[in-house]
Amino acid sequence: MTLKIRLARGGSKKRPYYHVVVADARAPRDGRFLEKLGSWNPMLPKDNEKRVELNLERIQEWIAKGAQPTDRVLRFLAEAGVAQRDARNNPEKAKPGKKAQERAAERAQREEDAKAAAAEAAAE
């Protein structure tokens, strides 16, 4: 049984509230869990101490038993100084897609042709 420390969504529509829970990896996101370990309220300002509340002792016990935190929970734990999260860098993500690159190339070609036509007209 693989255990995950993850977020379970609560709250109403467009008003999210998350519980940090430890659950079987096969269980549904908002379904069965073993223990509630904290909460995250993204609606609160980032400097509010109630935004992220974690029971760090219990989280450390679950990690010692083999539970794996998800990426978002690992961010919270790194912020609290409990776990180490490797920085990520994906320079490919910022590049435009294939179609956008084709459109940009076409636009540059049209501008170049327009400049050449204007230069010919000015030379005559």
pLDDT at position 54: 93
One-letter amino acid identity for 12? S
| pLDDT confidence band for 28 (50 / 70 / 90) | confident
Give domain limits for the chain: 3-80, 94-123
Is the pLDDT assigned to residue 1 strictly greater than 80? no
Read off the DSSP letter of residue 82: S
State the CB neighbour count (10 A cutoff) for residue 4: 19
CATH superfamily entry for domain 3-80:
Ribosomal protein S16 (3.30.1320.10)
Query: For residues 110 and 24, what is the distance between their CA atoms, to the nearest angstrom?
Result: 57
Full-model pTM = 0.69
